Structure 1
Amino acid sequence: MDFTDVSLAGLRVVREIAERRTFSAAAVALGYTQSAVSRQVAAVERAAGAPIFERRREGVRPTAAGQVVLRHAAAVLAEIDAADRELRGLPDATGTVRLGLYPTAGAVLLPRALTVLRRTHPGVTVVSRTGGTPVLIRALRAGTLDLAVLGSAPPFRAPDAETPALTVETLAERNLCVAVPSAHPLAANDSVDIAALRGQQWIAGRTAGDEPQLGVWPGVDERPDITHTAHDWLTKLHLVAAGFGFTTVPSDLAAVVPPGVRVLAVRGGPEERRRAVLAHVPQRLPEPTLRVIEALRTAATAPATVPF
């Protein structure tokens, strides 16, 4: 079987699996049965003459051959989608940029960047979605995102170990802070000593491995008392406003917290820094994507108090 005989359905299935990391999740997303997904993958692998996915306990990942297939599948499917839009008389999508962001960047950086872009290049359309770093990286690799803004913690390693390495740049580096109820005694000051965080109740999220993630102050040297867990920032911050605990936030989030919340710097202990990192697959970027990058840089480097 020659690779030129691979179907578009097969390429779409491969792309979906690469992003979602399981055959079953790809089947649900595409509305296929799992056996149909497996048949499509088998057909692509026969054409490629090599396995395109490596099966692991935590899910599948593309092999070297799979990465080649994905790289070319992204270009082929983009051209087919463009032809479909033209035939149906829909607006040209060449000015559309698909952007992924980690949740707090979606709350703060995205609106500011879109405001800049609307002023400087109104013809560029951004389609965005938020997600965790692993999900966004897989989407970049699968070709379903053009750009991603990722959260990065020390020691600030590369986003993943795949090849070719993603092209990355740091948009901003900020301190973490603690969000406390405005009625709490600690809210009377602009900062809090780390010792005062001992014995407090915390509102946090959880990772897929059920380990607490951003929410508990990283330097607290005790088993944290996590009274509420939430995946979204709106829930966390409104629980703080209602007096049900503290949560850790990036300093940029201070500009958008609801009434009843004070964001405080933390004194003592090691400084907690986080980066917003822009990433994309190494390639020559089209003009609309470059304009979005410029808008993100502008939004990330301007003071939070600057109106856009």
Structure 2
Amino acid sequence: MDFTDVSLTALRVLRAVAEHGTFTAAAVSLGYTQSAVSRQIAAAERVAGAELLERRRDGVRLTPAGRVVMRRATIVLDEIDATARELSGLPGQTGTVRLGWFPSAGAVLVPRALAALRRTDPDLHVVGRESGSTPALVRALRAGSLDLALLSSAPPFRPPDAESPPLVLQTLTERALRLAVPAAHPLARGEFVDVADLRGQRWISGSSSGDDRAMGVWPGLDERPEIAHTARDWLAKLQLVAAGCGLTTVPAVFTALAPAGVRILPVRGGPQEQRRLLLARLPQPPSEAVTRLAAVLREAALNDAGPNPDTPAPQQSF
């Protein structure tokens, strides 16, 4: 076996398949046909002398051999990309970090953290992208396409995947879910909403597909919710609330961002609906740039959250 015979194209295809979870999605992301993706993977597996991907009914995932190849391939591909940037004449940078996040983190935390980073570490370059799916963010971490990912976790706070080795996770904040209510709605008259009063309400939920489809409806309702509208964008949800079209759930940090015509209130009664903000990475030692960005994200999260005795104190190393 001579793995030097594997082309860069095959390595890029392997990373895309590992990240997107299916040959079809990888082909779309690369602009290839599915058969071309299959050929590149088959060529890499022939040279490796082992299956690099486990084919399952719900998609594919890296085998132990695939994880070894992907770990080394990521180093090669990152060096090639860095060389291309240097040859193109881009200004020098002390480090590049690829950061992924879920939608609500991109509305508040990420912009504030990046603004702080420009003041403290102007030479640190962050390449960021949003994903509406925790599995997609985790696959991108596993594939080496992301260095850090901001994840949201709900009770019972299970690990984001069952792969080995486990991801390194740091809890940045833990806060109770809140409710966005039209200012003219009867529920907006008090300083909190009783969970019993949520029966029979109309809801603005997340998109109708994917793992966020129920986002926006209060968890644990003992009835089939009436979904008045679906929207993935947080601004659209809040503007629909302002227009009196229904209620939606929001992270506590959105309280300061509520548009005119919206009140964001705590909900009392029933189990506490806590949400954790997590920072995740692979278990190998992080680069200095990753460590610096993690520290800035941790500081921004604590500043956004404010004091809360229920929030676990984050460890100082990550």
Q: Distance in 1 between matches of 2:210 and 2:15?
A: 25
Match of 1:65 in 2: 65
- Deviation of 1:220 (Å): 2.0
Structure 1 SS opposite 2:229: strand
Paired with 1:81 and 1:207, the residues of 2 have a C-alpha distance of: 37
How do 1:46-85 and structure 2 match up within 5 A?
46-85=46-85
Residue 149 of structure 1: aligned partner: 150
Query: Take 2:52 and 2:171, find their aligned partners in 1: how far apart are those partners?
Result: 32
Q: Residue 139 of structure 1 corresponds to which residue in structure 2?
A: 140
Distance change >3 Å, CA 18–CA 207, structure 1 → 2: farther
Residue 121 of structure 1, CA deviation: 1.4
Q: CA deviation at 1:194?
A: 0.7
Number of the residue aligned with 2:122: 122
Match of 1:179 in 2: 180
CA deviation profile, 1:128-160 (whole Å, cap 9, x unmatched): 111121110011011111100000011111111
Deviation at 1:7, TM superposition (A): 0.6
Aligned to 1:101: 101
> Which residue is equivalent to 2:7?
7
Distance apart, 1:202 and its partner CA: 0.4
Equivalent-residue separation in structure 2 for 1:142 and 1:60 (angstroms): 12
Offset at 1:86?
2.0
Match of 1:215, SS state, is coil
Asked whether the 8 Å contact 2:202–2:225 carries over to 1, the reply is: yes
For 1:214, what is the secondary structure of its paired residue? coil
Residue 270 of structure 1 aligns to a residue in which SS? coil
- Does the Cα contact within 8 Å between 2:109 and 2:304 map onto a contact in 1? no
**Cα shift readout 1:222-264 (whole Å, capped 9, x = no counterpart):** 1111111111211111111100000011111112222211101
The separation in 1 between residues aligned to 2:19 and 2:52, in whole angstroms, is: 14
Verify: 1:160 aligned to 2:146, yes or no: no
**What SS class does the counterpart of residue 112 from structure 2 fall into?**
helix
Deviates most, 149-158 or 90-99: 90-99
- The residue number in structure 2 matching 1:44 is 44
Counting only pairs closer than 5 Å after superposition, residues 221-236 of structure 1 correspond to structure 2 as 221-236=222-237
CA distance in 2, matches of 1:16, 1:141: 11
d(CA) in 1 for partners of 2:37, 2:304: 48
Distance 1:33 1:219, change over 3 A: closer
CA 1:305–1:241: 2 relative to 1, 3 Å: farther
Query: % of aligned pairs identical?
Result: 63
Are 1:278 and 2:282 an aligned pair? no
Q: CA deviation at 1:56?
A: 1.2
For this pair of structures, how many residues does the alignment match?
A: 306
**Root mean square deviation of aligned Cα:** 1.7
Q: Is the 8 Å Cα contact of residues 93 and 123 (structure 2) preserved in structure 1? A: no
Give the match's secondary structure for 1:202: strand
- What is aligned with 1:294? 295
Distance 2:91 2:164 in 1: 35
Instruction: Name the CA shift for 1:207/1:225 in 2 (closer, same or farther; >3 Å).
Output: closer
Aligned residue in 1 for 2:199: 198
Query: Alignment partner of 1:288: what SS?
Result: helix
Residue 30 (structure 2) pairs with residue 30 (structure 1): yes
- Gaps of at least 5 residues in structure 2 are 308-318
Counterparts of 1:158 and 1:114, CA distance in 2: 27
**Structure 1 alignment gaps of length 5 or more:** none
Could you report, residue by residue, the CA deviation over 1:180-206 in whole angstroms, capped at 9, with x for unpaired residues? 001112112221111111111001014
Q: How far is the alpha carbon of 1:94 from its aligned partner?
A: 5.1
The Cα shift of 1:208 comes to: 3.7
Q: In 2, distance between residues paired with 1:191 and 1:91? A: 52
Looking at structure 1, the residues matched to 212 and 261 of structure 2 have their Cα atoms a distance apart, in angstroms, of 28
